[in-house]
Amino acid sequence: MITSVRLMLNKSRRLNNGSYPLVFQVIHERRKKLMYTGFRIKEESFDESEEKIIDGVDSTFTTADVARMNRELRKIKNRIRTQIRYLERSTESFTVEDVLAQYIRKKVRQQFYLLRYIDTQIDRKKTLKKEGTAAAYRSTRLSLAKFLNGSDVRMSAIDLRFIRQYEDFLYNSGVTGNTVSYYLRNLRTLYNQAITDGYHPHGEYPFAKAQTRSAKTVKRALTRKDLQALANLGLEEMPELKFARDLYLFSFYAQGMAFVDIVLLKKSDICNGVLTYSRHKSKQLIRITVTPQMQELMDKYETEGEYVFPIISEKSLSEYKQYRLSLGRINRYLKKIAVMIDIAVPLTTYTARHTWATLARDYGAPVSVISAGLGHTSEEMTRIYLKEFDVSQLDKVNSLVTNLS
């Protein structure tokens, strides 16, 4: 009985990005078994007749990547064929499982390649609708690919020396210390996940001495005078800037509501003069009494759809992508506004949040309730204390803080 082995795409398992798992199909005595290679390839990037990946079609892979993958795939196929010849000579009968058993045992530790593994995690996060994490992993992968000159390495290559060299590469590229920490934290998370998924590390844990903690940055708030100048700025002839300014003010009026929560805010979140929403970041439920300033801005941009503000509209793009696009656009407009009225503090959607917290503190709200820093640690503390804080007292503080007259 002839035993066949063929490299092919498993088209019964199409992935979210349009690619398919690349598998070896072994058929023996009319029984078929698939062995997954760990590669995910789009249909137009694979030559079925030649059983190889095509260079220059998918921008995800460099020429070096394609050459390396094809070289590795040829080795795998040769090993499978060698196993088949061995079984044919040494035994009268064998199964399709026998063909792959020895090879699979050898291959378990070889399937953990860094960039390839990150690709699987990006796909996984997208499937789970965790677009933010997928974007973070994608930016980290791009950075690592540049560091590795487009080639991939086995997970076992990640040791303290690798981390130090990557860190030096990032600093030499001109990125900030916090950005270096950001990439290293993402890499550490991915490395830990690989261990959970079956990777067996050797030697010392590579991140034990790596600097992954962000430095505390100075958060600056607008003064009341700056806020008044911003609110009174005539922007009738510049609707894009006016919309950006109004969203900034809404964030301030709504107790420093995060921009992502403004983007996703729905009309159904408002009932009997109370706005109730779940924070995108922490999932904590927050209730805000709608102030006249908030109501005025919502009325100004009333939409026909389910969202309060006209930001989410494209059906072809996910909510997260539309949020990211609008965030960049709004921050660019805010930067222009800052120049127009000579605001020294970097004007971004985030400073509205920090400005509200700072002024709330200045008006007497306990520091235990409204943290002036609003960094990661202090935000967590703020959330904990807000659970025990009298909402009516918070409404009173918000009314005082947001009165710009």
pLDDT tens for 187-205 read 999 998 888 777 777 778 8
Tell me if 238 sits within 8 A of 256, measured CB to CB.
no
Distance CA 49, CA 42 (A): 15
Q: What is the mean pLDDT of the chain?
A: 81
Nearest to 213 by CA among 166, 165, 181: 181
At 267, the pLDDT band (50, 70, 90 cuts) reads very high
Dihedral sign, Cα of residue 163, residue 195, residue 69, residue 99: positive
* Interacting residues of 67 by C-beta distance below 8 A, sequence separation 6+: 55
- Of 65 and 269, the one with more pLDDT: 269
CA dihedral sign of residues 137, 140, 146, 148: negative
Strand partners, 25: 6, 34
The answer to whether 25 and 8 are in contact (CB under 8 A) is yes
Examine the pLDDT at 333 and tell me if it is beyond 90. Answer: yes
If one compares 351 and 401, the residue with the highest pLDDT of the two is 351
Q: Which two tokens stand for residue 351?
A: 């400073």
Question: What is the mean pLDDT of the segment spanning 80-98?
Answer: 82
CA distance 182 to 113: 21
Task: Quote the distance between the C-alpha of residue 234 and its chain's center.
Answer: 37
Q: Which two three-digit tokens encode residue 389?
A: 């804080």
CA nearest to 219, candidates 372, 44, 112, 368: 372
Conformation bin of residue 365: beta by default, left when phi > 0, alpha when psi is -120 to 50: beta
Q: What is the pLDDT of residues 16-64, one digit of tens each?
A: 677 888 889 999 888 888 888 878 888 998 999 999 999 877 766 778 7
Two structure tokens written together for 142? 């791009």
How many Cα atoms within 13 Å fall on the side-chain side of residue 59?
A: 1
CA distances to 44, 143, 175, 187, 375 from 214, rounded to whole Å, are 42, 18, 13, 15, 10
**How many angstroms separate the CA atoms of 309 and 325, rounded?**
15
> Is pLDDT at 81 greater than 90 in this prediction?
no
